[in-house]
Protein backbone atom coordinates (compact mmCIF):
# COMPACT_ATOMS: atom_id res chain seq x y z
CA UNK A 1 0.00 0.00 0.00
CA UNK A 2 1.28 3.48 -0.87
CA UNK A 3 2.22 5.45 2.22
CA UNK A 4 0.32 8.68 1.47
CA UNK A 5 0.45 11.62 3.89
CA UNK A 6 -3.15 10.80 4.85
CA UNK A 7 -2.45 7.13 5.60
CA UNK A 8 0.74 8.06 7.50
CA UNK A 9 -1.26 10.53 9.55
CA UNK A 10 -3.92 7.96 10.30
CA UNK A 11 -1.29 5.33 11.22
CA UNK A 12 0.30 7.84 13.58
CA UNK A 13 -3.10 8.73 15.04
CA UNK A 14 -3.98 5.08 15.70
CA UNK A 15 -0.49 4.38 17.14
CA UNK A 16 -0.89 7.34 19.51
CA UNK A 17 -4.39 6.25 20.45
CA UNK A 18 -3.16 2.78 21.43
CA UNK A 19 0.11 3.93 23.07
CA UNK A 20 0.11 3.98 26.88
CA UNK A 21 -0.16 7.36 28.53
CA UNK A 22 1.35 8.37 31.83
CA UNK A 23 0.04 11.11 34.07
CA UNK A 24 1.41 12.45 37.32
CA UNK A 25 -0.57 12.75 40.55
CA UNK A 26 -1.03 16.50 40.15
CA UNK A 27 -2.34 16.02 36.54
CA UNK A 28 -0.11 18.81 35.28
CA UNK A 29 2.27 16.38 33.49
CA UNK A 30 1.29 13.69 31.02
CA UNK A 31 2.88 12.05 28.02
CA UNK A 32 2.55 9.16 25.60
CA UNK A 33 5.19 6.49 25.93
CA UNK A 34 6.01 3.54 23.66
CA UNK A 35 6.18 1.03 26.53
CA UNK A 36 5.50 0.95 30.25
CA UNK A 37 7.52 -1.99 31.59
CA UNK A 38 6.83 -3.49 35.00
CA UNK A 39 9.88 -5.67 35.68
CA UNK A 40 9.47 -8.27 38.41
CA UNK A 41 13.17 -8.88 39.02
CA UNK A 42 16.54 -7.22 38.67
CA UNK A 43 17.24 -9.52 35.70
CA UNK A 44 14.17 -8.07 33.97
CA UNK A 45 15.34 -4.51 34.66
CA UNK A 46 18.70 -5.37 33.12
CA UNK A 47 17.10 -7.02 30.07
CA UNK A 48 14.76 -4.04 29.55
CA UNK A 49 17.60 -1.51 29.78
CA UNK A 50 19.87 -3.53 27.48
CA UNK A 51 17.12 -3.98 24.89
CA UNK A 52 16.35 -0.24 24.97
CA UNK A 53 20.02 0.74 24.74
CA UNK A 54 20.50 -1.56 21.74
CA UNK A 55 17.52 0.11 20.05
CA UNK A 56 18.81 3.61 20.87
CA UNK A 57 15.88 4.26 23.19
CA UNK A 58 15.63 6.20 26.43
CA UNK A 59 14.62 4.56 29.71
CA UNK A 60 13.22 6.42 32.70
CA UNK A 61 12.13 5.09 36.06
CA UNK A 62 8.86 6.28 37.58
CA UNK A 63 7.94 6.40 41.24
CA UNK A 64 4.46 7.39 42.45
CA UNK A 65 4.27 10.35 40.06
CA UNK A 66 4.18 12.89 42.87
CA UNK A 67 6.65 15.25 41.24
CA UNK A 68 5.13 18.31 39.61
CA UNK A 69 7.86 18.64 36.97
CA UNK A 70 8.51 16.54 33.80
CA UNK A 71 11.38 14.58 35.40
CA UNK A 72 9.86 11.20 34.60
CA UNK A 73 9.04 11.92 30.96
CA UNK A 74 10.29 9.78 28.08
CA UNK A 75 8.82 8.79 24.73
CA UNK A 76 10.41 5.34 24.80
CA UNK A 77 10.45 3.08 27.88
CA UNK A 78 9.07 3.93 31.31
CA UNK A 79 9.88 1.56 34.16
CA UNK A 80 7.21 0.98 36.76
CA UNK A 81 8.98 -0.53 39.79
CA UNK A 82 5.88 -1.39 41.79
CA UNK A 83 7.02 -5.02 42.01
CA UNK A 84 10.11 -3.81 43.88
CA UNK A 85 8.32 -3.29 47.15
CA UNK A 86 9.14 -4.35 50.68
CA UNK A 87 11.60 -4.10 53.54
CA UNK A 88 14.26 -6.78 53.03
CA UNK A 89 15.93 -6.43 56.43
CA UNK A 90 16.12 -4.09 59.41
CA UNK A 91 18.89 -4.27 61.98
CA UNK A 92 18.44 -2.44 65.30
CA UNK A 93 22.14 -2.81 66.20
CA UNK A 94 23.56 -1.22 63.06
CA UNK A 95 20.48 1.01 62.59
CA UNK A 96 20.36 0.09 58.95
CA UNK A 97 17.46 -1.13 56.82
CA UNK A 98 17.54 -2.56 53.31
CA UNK A 99 14.46 -1.90 51.22
CA UNK A 100 13.42 -2.44 47.62
CA UNK A 101 13.50 0.78 45.64
CA UNK A 102 9.81 1.00 44.71
CA UNK A 103 8.61 0.69 48.32
CA UNK A 104 6.22 3.45 49.29
CA UNK A 105 7.03 5.43 52.44
CA UNK A 106 3.72 4.24 53.91
CA UNK A 107 4.92 0.63 53.71
CA UNK A 108 8.22 1.27 55.50
CA UNK A 109 6.96 2.36 58.91
CA UNK A 110 5.39 -0.88 60.21
CA UNK A 111 8.30 -3.27 59.44
CA UNK A 112 10.78 -0.77 60.87
CA UNK A 113 8.62 -0.35 63.98
CA UNK A 114 8.61 -4.13 64.49
CA UNK A 115 12.40 -3.99 64.49
CA UNK A 116 12.44 -1.08 66.97
CA UNK A 117 13.35 1.41 64.24
CA UNK A 118 11.91 4.36 62.30
CA UNK A 119 12.71 6.79 59.51
CA UNK A 120 14.33 9.90 60.99
CA UNK A 121 12.17 12.22 58.91
CA UNK A 122 9.76 12.15 56.00
CA UNK A 123 7.69 14.40 53.78
CA UNK A 124 4.18 15.69 53.99
CA UNK A 125 2.52 12.62 52.42
CA UNK A 126 3.60 9.00 52.44
CA UNK A 127 2.64 7.55 49.07
CA UNK A 128 5.87 8.60 47.36
CA UNK A 129 8.31 5.78 46.65
CA UNK A 130 11.49 5.82 48.69
CA UNK A 131 13.52 5.96 45.47
CA UNK A 132 11.51 8.91 44.10
CA UNK A 133 11.78 10.79 47.39
CA UNK A 134 15.52 10.16 47.57
CA UNK A 135 16.12 10.97 43.89
CA UNK A 136 14.51 14.40 44.37
CA UNK A 137 15.90 15.32 47.77
CA UNK A 138 12.42 15.27 49.31
CA UNK A 139 12.47 16.97 52.67
CA UNK A 140 10.59 16.59 55.91
CA UNK A 141 11.02 19.40 58.39
CA UNK A 142 12.87 20.49 61.48
CA UNK A 143 16.39 21.86 61.44
CA UNK A 144 17.73 18.87 63.38
CA UNK A 145 16.95 16.35 60.64
CA UNK A 146 18.29 15.72 57.16
CA UNK A 147 16.20 15.10 54.06
CA UNK A 148 15.34 11.65 52.68
CA UNK A 149 18.50 11.59 50.54
CA UNK A 150 20.69 11.97 53.61
CA UNK A 151 19.49 8.56 54.83
CA UNK A 152 20.81 6.75 51.77
CA UNK A 153 23.82 4.52 52.28
CA UNK A 154 24.77 1.70 49.85
CA UNK A 155 22.51 1.65 46.82
CA UNK A 156 22.25 -0.84 43.99
CA UNK A 157 21.57 0.58 40.52
CA UNK A 158 21.29 -0.77 37.00
CA UNK A 159 23.21 1.81 34.98
CA UNK A 160 22.65 3.05 31.45
CA UNK A 161 24.59 0.13 29.99
CA UNK A 162 22.48 -2.43 31.83
CA UNK A 163 25.25 -3.24 34.33
CA UNK A 164 24.57 -3.65 38.05
CA UNK A 165 26.59 -1.19 40.14
CA UNK A 166 26.73 -1.30 43.92
CA UNK A 167 27.53 2.18 45.21
CA UNK A 168 28.84 2.23 48.76
CA UNK A 169 30.23 4.69 51.29
CA UNK A 170 33.71 3.82 49.95
CA UNK A 171 32.95 6.07 46.96
CA UNK A 172 31.39 9.14 48.60
CA UNK A 173 31.33 11.12 45.37
CA UNK A 174 29.24 8.45 43.65
CA UNK A 175 27.04 8.08 46.71
CA UNK A 176 26.36 11.82 46.71
CA UNK A 177 25.48 11.62 43.01
CA UNK A 178 23.05 8.79 43.77
CA UNK A 179 21.51 10.68 46.67
CA UNK A 180 19.82 13.28 44.44
CA UNK A 181 20.08 11.78 40.95
CA UNK A 182 16.64 12.75 39.55
CA UNK A 183 16.74 9.31 37.96
CA UNK A 184 19.72 10.14 35.73
CA UNK A 185 22.34 7.83 37.24
CA UNK A 186 20.50 4.60 36.53
CA UNK A 187 17.61 2.59 37.91
CA UNK A 188 17.79 2.11 41.67
CA UNK A 189 16.64 -1.38 42.63
CA UNK A 190 17.67 -1.66 46.29
CA UNK A 191 18.46 0.93 48.94
CA UNK A 192 20.16 0.71 52.31
CA UNK A 193 18.99 3.41 54.71
CA UNK A 194 20.37 4.77 57.93
CA UNK A 195 17.43 4.72 60.34
CA UNK A 196 16.88 5.69 63.99
CA UNK A 197 15.43 4.02 67.09
CA UNK A 198 11.64 4.10 66.94
CA UNK A 199 9.83 7.03 68.51
CA UNK A 200 6.33 8.39 68.86
CA UNK A 201 5.19 11.86 67.88
CA UNK A 202 3.16 14.10 70.13
CA UNK A 203 0.98 16.23 67.88
CA UNK A 204 -0.13 19.71 68.86
CA UNK A 205 -2.55 21.71 66.70
CA UNK A 206 -2.40 25.43 67.30
CA UNK A 207 -3.82 28.50 65.70
CA UNK A 208 -1.15 31.17 65.61
CA UNK A 209 -1.01 34.51 63.89
CA UNK A 210 1.65 34.88 61.27
CA UNK A 211 3.32 37.50 63.50
CA UNK A 212 3.58 34.96 66.35
CA UNK A 213 5.02 32.34 64.01
CA UNK A 214 7.55 34.86 62.72
CA UNK A 215 8.54 35.82 66.25
CA UNK A 216 9.01 32.20 67.37
CA UNK A 217 10.39 30.93 64.05
CA UNK A 218 13.85 29.90 65.25
CA UNK A 219 12.54 28.22 68.38
CA UNK A 220 9.83 26.35 66.44
CA UNK A 221 12.26 25.04 63.85
CA UNK A 222 14.83 24.00 66.42
CA UNK A 223 12.52 22.38 68.95
CA UNK A 224 9.99 20.82 66.65
CA UNK A 225 10.37 17.54 64.82
CA UNK A 226 7.74 18.18 62.22
CA UNK A 227 6.31 21.59 61.52
CA UNK A 228 3.47 21.97 59.06
CA UNK A 229 1.46 24.97 58.06
CA UNK A 230 -2.13 24.45 57.06
CA UNK A 231 -3.99 26.88 54.82
CA UNK A 232 -6.22 29.29 56.69
CA UNK A 233 -9.51 27.50 57.24
CA UNK A 234 -12.72 29.37 56.56
CA UNK A 235 -13.60 29.63 60.27
CA UNK A 236 -10.20 31.07 61.11
CA UNK A 237 -10.01 34.82 60.59
CA UNK A 238 -7.11 35.87 58.41
CA UNK A 239 -4.21 36.43 58.82
CA UNK A 240 -4.31 33.47 61.23
CA UNK A 241 -3.31 30.06 60.02
CA UNK A 242 -3.13 26.61 61.59
CA UNK A 243 0.18 25.07 62.49
CA UNK A 244 0.73 21.48 63.41
CA UNK A 245 3.80 20.80 65.45
CA UNK A 246 4.97 17.31 66.33
CA UNK A 247 7.57 16.62 68.95
CA UNK A 248 9.35 13.33 69.31
CA UNK A 249 8.66 11.46 72.47
CA UNK A 250 9.92 8.11 73.64
CA UNK A 251 7.02 7.52 76.04
CA UNK A 252 4.41 5.02 74.94
C1 LIG B 1 0.79 16.00 47.84
C2 LIG B 1 2.29 16.11 47.73
C3 LIG B 1 3.02 16.33 48.88
C4 LIG B 1 4.42 16.45 48.82
N5 LIG B 1 5.10 16.70 49.97
C6 LIG B 1 6.43 16.93 49.91
C7 LIG B 1 7.17 17.25 51.09
O8 LIG B 1 6.64 17.32 52.20
N9 LIG B 1 8.49 17.50 50.96
C10 LIG B 1 9.11 17.47 49.74
O11 LIG B 1 10.32 17.72 49.66
N12 LIG B 1 8.46 17.11 48.62
C13 LIG B 1 7.14 16.87 48.68
N14 LIG B 1 6.46 16.54 47.53
C15 LIG B 1 7.23 16.23 46.32
C16 LIG B 1 7.48 14.72 46.23
O17 LIG B 1 7.78 14.17 47.49
C18 LIG B 1 8.68 14.41 45.33
O19 LIG B 1 8.40 14.92 44.07
C20 LIG B 1 9.01 12.91 45.19
O21 LIG B 1 9.99 12.73 44.23
C22 LIG B 1 7.90 12.08 44.71
O23 LIG B 1 8.28 10.71 44.71
P24 LIG B 1 7.65 9.75 43.65
O25 LIG B 1 7.78 8.35 44.14
O26 LIG B 1 6.28 10.20 43.30
O27 LIG B 1 8.65 9.94 42.41
P28 LIG B 1 8.33 10.46 40.93
O29 LIG B 1 7.78 11.82 41.00
O30 LIG B 1 7.55 9.44 40.18
O31 LIG B 1 9.82 10.49 40.36
C32 LIG B 1 10.73 11.44 40.86
C33 LIG B 1 12.13 11.19 40.30
O34 LIG B 1 12.65 9.99 40.88
C35 LIG B 1 13.16 9.15 39.85
N36 LIG B 1 13.00 7.76 40.27
C37 LIG B 1 11.91 7.17 40.80
N38 LIG B 1 12.16 5.88 41.06
C39 LIG B 1 13.44 5.65 40.69
C40 LIG B 1 14.29 4.51 40.69
N41 LIG B 1 13.86 3.33 41.14
N42 LIG B 1 15.54 4.64 40.23
C43 LIG B 1 16.00 5.82 39.78
N44 LIG B 1 15.25 6.94 39.74
C45 LIG B 1 13.98 6.86 40.19
C46 LIG B 1 12.32 9.49 38.63
O47 LIG B 1 12.97 9.15 37.43
C48 LIG B 1 12.18 11.00 38.78
O49 LIG B 1 13.32 11.64 38.26
C50 LIG B 1 5.08 16.36 47.56
C51 LIG B 1 4.34 16.12 46.40
C52 LIG B 1 2.94 16.00 46.48
C53 LIG B 1 2.16 15.75 45.22
Does one domain contain both 161 and 191?
yes
Q: What is the pTM of this model?
A: 0.88
Looking at ligand 1, which atom is closest to the CA of residue 147? 11
pLDDT given for residue 240 in this prediction = 46
**Residue 236 CB: number of other CB atoms within 10 A?**
13
CATH number at residue 51: 3.30.43.10
Does one domain contain both 191 and 216?
no
Does one domain contain both 102 and 142?
yes
Q: Based on the structure, what is the number of domains in the chain?
A: 3
Residue 27 has pLDDT above 80, yes or no: yes
Compute the distance from residue 42 Cα to the ligand 1 centre, in Å: 22
Compute the distance from residue 6 Cα to the ligand 1 centre, in Å: 41
**Which of 39, 54, 80 lies at the terminal end of a domain, its last residue?**
80
pLDDT given for residue 3 in this prediction = 56
Compute the distance from residue 96 Cα to the ligand 1 centre, in Å: 22
pLDDT tens string 82-124: 999 999 999 999 999 999 999 999 999 999 999 999 999 888 7
Looking at ligand 1, which atom is closest to the CA of residue 84? 41
Compute the distance from residue 182 Cα to the ligand 1 centre, in Å: 9
Pocket, ligand 1, Cβ cutoff 6 A: 25-26, 60-67, 71-72, 81, 101, 123-125, 128-129, 131-133, 135-136, 138-139, 182-183, 187-188
Does one domain contain both 189 and 214?
no
pLDDT tens string 38-89: 999 999 999 999 999 999 999 999 999 999 999 999 999 999 999 999 999 9
Calculate the average pLDDT of the chain.
Answer: 87
Instruction: Determine which residue's CA is closest to atom 35 belonging to ligand 1.
Output: 183
Indicate the range of 33-42, 49-58, 192-201 predicted with least confidence.
192-201
Instruction: Determine which residue's CA is closest to atom 10 belonging to ligand 1.
Output: 138
pLDDT given for residue 116 in this prediction = 95
Residue 11 has pLDDT above 90, yes or no: no
Instruction: Determine which residue's CA is closest to atom 19 belonging to ligand 1.
Output: 67
For residue 219, name the pLDDT band (cuts at 50, 70, 90): confident
Compute the distance from residue 247 Cα to the ligand 1 centre, in Å: 25
Can you give the three-state secondary structure of the chain, one letter per residue?
CCCCHHHHHHHHHHHHHHCCEEECCCCCCEEECCEEECCCCHHHHHHHHHHHHHCCCCEEEECCCCCCCCCCCCCCEEEECCCCCCEEEEECCCCEEEEECCCEHHHCHHHHHHCCEECCCCCCCCCCEHHHHHHCCCCCCCCCCCCHHHHEEEEEEECCCCCEEEECCCCHHHHHHHHCCCCCCCEEEEEEEECEECCEEEEEEEEEEHHHHHHCHHHHHHHCCEEEEECCCCCCCCCEEEEEEEEEECCC
CATH number at residue 150: 3.30.465.10
Higher pLDDT, 112 or 141: 112
Compute the distance from residue 157 Cα to the ligand 1 centre, in Å: 17
Higher pLDDT, 165 or 229: 165
Instruction: Determine which residue's CA is closest to atom 22 belonging to ligand 1.
Output: 66
Does one domain contain both 111 and 188?
yes
Mean pLDDT on 143-171:
95
pLDDT given for residue 203 in this prediction = 72
| Domain extent for 59 | 5-80
Does one domain contain both 35 and 65?
yes
Higher pLDDT, 182 or 142: 182
Does one domain contain both 216 and 189?
no
Does one domain contain both 110 and 182?
yes
Does one domain contain both 192 and 207?
no
Compute the distance from residue 131 Cα to the ligand 1 centre, in Å: 8
Residue 163 has pLDDT above 80, yes or no: yes
Among 58, 102, 138, 141, say which to mutate for ligand 1: greatest number of ligand atoms within 8 Å of CB: 138
pLDDT given for residue 251 in this prediction = 45
Amino acid sequence: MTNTPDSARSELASALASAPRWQNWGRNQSFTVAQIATPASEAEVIATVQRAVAAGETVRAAGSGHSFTPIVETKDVLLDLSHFSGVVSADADTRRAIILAGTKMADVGAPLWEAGLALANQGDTDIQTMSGAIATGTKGSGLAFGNMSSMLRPVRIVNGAGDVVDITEDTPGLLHAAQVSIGLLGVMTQLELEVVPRYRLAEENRIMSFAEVAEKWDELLLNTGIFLSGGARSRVPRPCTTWVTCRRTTAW
